[in-house]
Chain A
Amino acid sequence: MPKTLLQIDWLSILIVILLIAFGWSNIYSTTVTASDLEVFDFSKIYGKQLIWIGLGVFITVLMLSIEAKFFEKFSTVIYIVAVLSLSGLFLFGKTIAGQTAWYSFGSFSIQPAEFVKTAVALVLAKYLSEINVDLKKFKSQIKAAGIIAIPFLLIMLQPDAGSALIYLAFIIPLYREGLPHWYIVVGFLVAAIFILTLKFGFTIIAPIIFAMAVIIFLFNRKNKPKILKYILITILCTGFSYSVNFILNEVLLPHQKDRFDVLIGESNDIKGSAFNLYQSEVAIGSGGFWGKGWLKGTQTQGRFVPEQHTDYIFSTVGEEWGFLGTSLVVVLFTSLILRLFYLAERQKSQFNRVYGYCVFSVIFFHFFVNIAMVIGLFPTVGIPLPFFSYGGSGLWGFLILIFIFLKLDAKRKSLN
């Protein structure tokens, strides 16, 4: 342990501490009421979060004390336990707001999905570092996809599409380890066509796809491209664009469809989600450059933004700390993610590297989806902002995720 303390990456820890501290002060602001006297009132949300943070310190110490080899050795066991804990929800879980995502112990609840990410990262790292695994081959691709898909599907069944969405983050480590380029290209194409068709409609997008295909083909003439391949891809793209409406109406649940409609500004029916987003934007927008000051935000103190201490916590930052505060949070997160990226790249063992990639990808996805949602760039997806949002499971999940990596990083030289 003492040796670990010298080798550990203190910069990452410093950023995490800053995020947690700043996060808590915002949770306090959104949940304190005028009649509250004490900060350590554990019946209140901000008081509870203090307990989570306090116990979180023990968790980090525990993670740093465990032998680094342990995580690689027992990754499979950890993964199986994680999957069982997700399956067990359907038997013993507690349903809150229509989602069976919690185990309830008296007055507090645990959300296993928040811990499963770590297990998936560990077992993915273990699998990819095996010698005969090659992501260029279909068989390896399928196996890797299976590791991610099992918890993904279990979470979709809860149903919690938001938490499940985060599992898309694992495509980044897969790509780093050799997944063919075209997966990424297809991913971007699908997303782009989906959103653009929603916004502009099939009749406009279809000719554009066709025109793009012709232009790319003409530019590429010298390389003698296969004309059949172009035609096939064009048909697939148009076909997908054509089916967007079907997906929206038949595959997505009504509330999910509304969230897309809100984003592209076409919501007429359920104004609930539009109103939430609007309130969030009002809170952020009214913050100005300097903000209104801690505990002085009228929107925040008026409790106009729903779920403000969890998913919408960033709107409090926007209102009370202004552009100064929001930029600080963006800069802190960006530095943390890039720092983790740098640490991951400097690993010599493949296991460590893949795990590191998983860690920063997951944190990046959370950061990206959450902030993009709160500032109106992404459909409403209920996932927390790491280290910031209220919630014990989320906080501990991220602490475990990141501190395992910091331990691996500290021991990177002794491993090989």
Chain B
Amino acid sequence: MRKLLPVILVSFSAIIFMARLFYLQIIDDSYDEVSTNIAVRKVYDYPQRGYIYDRNGELLVGNQPAYDVMAIPLEVKTFDTLELASLLKLSPNQLKNQLNKAWRYSPRLASVITPQLTKKEYAYLQERMHKYEGFYIQKRSLRDYNVKHSANILGYIAEANNRDIKKNPYYQSGDLIGKQGVEEQYEEELRGVRGVKYFLRDIHNKNIKPFKNGTFDTVSKKGNDLTLTIDAQLQKYGEKLMENKRGGIVAIEPATGEILSLITAPTYDPDKLVGRKRSRNFTKLYYDTISKPLYNRPLQAIYAPGSPFKALTGLAALQEEVVDLDESFSCNGSYTYARGVRMGCHHHPSPVEMVSGIAYSCNSYFAQIYRRTIEKYETPQLGIDAWRKHMASFGLGDYLGYDLPVGRAGLLPDAEYYNRAYEYPTYNWYASATLSNAIGQGEVLTTPIQLANVTAAIANKGWYYKPHIIKKINEESIEIEKYTTKQQTTIDKKHFEPIIEGMHDVFNYGTAQFLQVPGIEICGKTGTSENYIRIDGERMQLTDHSIFVAFAPKENPKIAIAVFVENGYWGSRYAGRISSLMIEKYLKGNIERTDLESWILSHSLEDEYAKPYSGEPFEINQ
């Protein structure tokens, strides 16, 4: 039996195979009709991509039809090259090259000769198409942008390249795939399901009828519509304010973690990356390596956070119980923390305690309470790690997990980092070596969205939801666990009161008095961050970055915002103005302080940006 089994199996299979083949090839002749002189043409039915709306239901992105001109090289008969080339807006040589390329790809399969004609071009071409045998037109769906803003959020779509196709077997040559932004992040929701129709043709390339009555056809299914958390009006306004400047704005709704706007400057019109003009425009944007319009600054740019970081320094000191609220420190323009080493401060009333310290942004005060925080522990290593734990609980040094495809983690140093930098244990280092962290000018680096998130956590008095941009899919609110889990910071709720009071006083008597918005209680903090650039290997200092964070209203906050304006000098000069305008716009719907608005709109920083490239010596902080 055991020896017999293989013989039985093999013989049995051979007999079955022969029987089946005999049936297929000799008895059943239904296949002959199909394969003689008739070929099947596969035509894809590309689905419409899902629409994208803003939080108030305003349509941001829809679709427009477009038309690919295809050719099957073997079926192309001699034709008037000049005429067709001019119809397709190609040079005769380009047309010949395209046909040669198609021939090399496959003489029998369809290739794209020229992609994505507009409806108008198509209408003109359609009447003349019958003259060109072997050519036909395939309908596609392209993006149609309803707005001129939000390019950095939306991303764009492009033909899937070889890498996409290899990575994911769903894609075929000629498919469109989302690149960057929401288009990339929610590709699977947006793309829908591709349909396919099979047609029979006779040898004259005519009489197209459905193959087998459409048994094998599949219907395409439109992609899902997305509703974003973005407020289109606010986004548009923010982009307008940022014209002629570089930097980023992030606004978050503190109660939900929803991103209200995410602005990068400079930016571009999303319509530039649609259809045939995409690759030319993309190249232009891509090679602008100085202003970098494709660089998503609110997510990717890392800056020293500057003075807004003092709020965190204060919170950590309160939580570690190294300072009392009413303990005051005098400041005479600087703080000497080691022999002959001073940290400068600007002119302001003295002495200060926590609340006025924030309002006046006193460097000496925060340097001293930071030092106490670190020195509370036996070694500076333990101290730094304890401090780091508090900072990390605000989402610093982390990608934050938002639903957009790019980002940076920034830098939040730990003891290991300083051990390496100071070659511990060969050399020792102390709290004073890290003192610049107290005022946000040390090793800590943050992205604008991280700083906005910190502001939201302060507004909420100790917790935040991870920032995110998706609100609804197909009109249904979605609950993603990641975005509905409260992230608790390590700071107790009660410690936030004095910090918020101080941030409120920034507007009452502090560094941003002139930015008050009538009728809105704003809490905020100015910031100025020194920065350097390296051009041709030479390091030079540039004008300080202007930074501002704020939330409003003070009670039951609706918006938390972080603004970075590169080389805008001091905090309230550009970033503060922009923040207060954004808050006014969002909470009131219109701007009453038109003089402030026109100041921002009429001031450009382009001269400032041109300085380091002028090749001449230049002055900064003018």
Contacts and interface: CB of A to CB of B under 8 A. Distances in A.
Interface stretch (B34-42, B270-278, B408-416): B34-42
Given A33-B107, A303-B109, A327-B21, A288 B196 contact: no
Contact of A275 (B5, B18, B216): B216
Interface string A358-386: 00110010011001100111000000000
Given A289-B25, A334-B11, A97 B36 contact: no
Contact of B6 (A271, A301, A361): A361
B25 A326 contact: yes
Given A95-B167, A274-B216, A341 B6 contact: yes
A176 B21 contact: no
Nearest to A301: B108
B272 to A, nearest CB: 33
Interface in A336-366: 337-338, 341, 345, 357, 360-361, 364
B217 to A, nearest CB: 7
B25 A318 contact: yes
B25 A288 contact: yes
Contacts of B215: 271
A323 B6 contact: no
Contact of A285 (B6, B11, B31): B31
Interface string B13-26: 11011101110111
15 contacts: A96-B166, A172-B5, A172-B6, A172-B9, A176-B5, A181-B1, A271-B217, A272-B196, A282-B35, A288-B32, A298-B37, A303-B106, A303-B108, A323-B22, A326-B25
Interface in B417-444: none
Count class of interface residues, chain B = 35 or more
Interface in B21-70: 21-22, 24-26, 28-32, 34-37, 39-40
Given A271-B216, A326-B21, A375-B20, A288 B6 contact: no
A285 B25 contact: yes
Nearest to B30: A285
A337 B31 contact: no
A330 B2 contact: no
Interface residues of A, number: 60
A302 B108 contact: yes
Interface in A168-216: 172, 175-176, 178, 181, 184
Contacts of B32: 285-286, 288
A242 interface: no
B21 A323 contact: yes
A368 B11 CA distance: 11
B120 interface: no
A371 B9 CA distance: 15
Contacts of A97: 166, 169
Nearest to A284: B24
Contacts of B218: 269-271
Interface of A: 33-35, 95-98, 172, 175-176, 178, 181, 184, 269-272, 274-275, 278, 281-289, 298-299, 301-304, 318-319, 322-323, 326-327, 330-331, 333-334, 337-338, 341, 345, 357, 360-361, 364, 367-368, 371-372, 375-377
B10 interface: yes
Q: Which 6 pairs show the lowest CB-CB distances between chains A and B?
A: A285-B31, A286-B35, A323-B25, A334-B14, A271-B216, A285-B24
B25 A175 contact: no
Nearest to B14: A334
Nearest to B28: A285
Interface string B191-205: 000001010000000
Contacts of B166: 95-97
B295 to A, nearest CB: 30
Interface string B62-97: 000000000000100000000000000000000000
Contacts of B169: 97-98
A293 to B, nearest CB: 14
Given A35-B103, A175-B2, A299-B35, A364 B216 contact: no
B139 to A, nearest CB: 20
A283 B21 CA distance: 12
A321 to B, nearest CB: 10
A111 to B, nearest CB: 16
Contacts of B217: 271
Contact of B26 (A281, A288, A372): A288
A302 B39 contact: yes
B594 interface: no
Contacts of A301: 108
A322 B25 contact: yes
Nearest to B1: A181
B535 interface: no
Given A95-B166, A274-B216, A284-B25, 17 more contacts: A34-B74, A96-B166, A97-B166, A97-B169, A286-B32, A288-B26, A299-B35, A327-B18, A327-B21, A331-B14, A334-B10, A341-B7, A345-B3, A361-B6, A371-B17, A372-B13, A375-B21
B43 to A, nearest CB: 13
B25 A287 contact: yes
Contacts of A287: 25
A377 B591 CA distance: 74
B3 A176 contact: yes
Contacts of A361: 6
B598 interface: no
A184 B20 CA distance: 26
Contact of A298 (B1, B14, B36): B36
Contacts of B16: 377
Contact of B34 (A284, A286, A333, A368): A286
